[in-house]
Amino acid sequence: MIGRKVFYEGRVQGVGFRFTVKALARGYEVLGWVRNLEDGRVELQVTGEREEVEAFLEAVAESELKSHIKGTQNLPIPPLTGVRGFEILR
């Protein structure tokens, strides 16, 4: 199990970013959450088997959101605990 924290920069708020990420997560065996940040970025934290996490993050990067993403910061974190499913945090 691995964990990743990813920050997305660009026009990533107000375009359905979080809802698209949540929908994409249904296709992978991953747990985590996504939320808007006050500085205009979106933060995603995800955990799962390495192959699932990497495939999920690649799916986000290649989705219809691609044109809105101008930069990412992908950081390793310890696997998330106490998380069930994938959700949008407010």
Catalytic positions are: 18, 36
Contacts of 79 (CB under 8 A, 6+ apart): 1, 2, 3, 47
Cβ distance 22 to 90 under 8 Å?
A: no
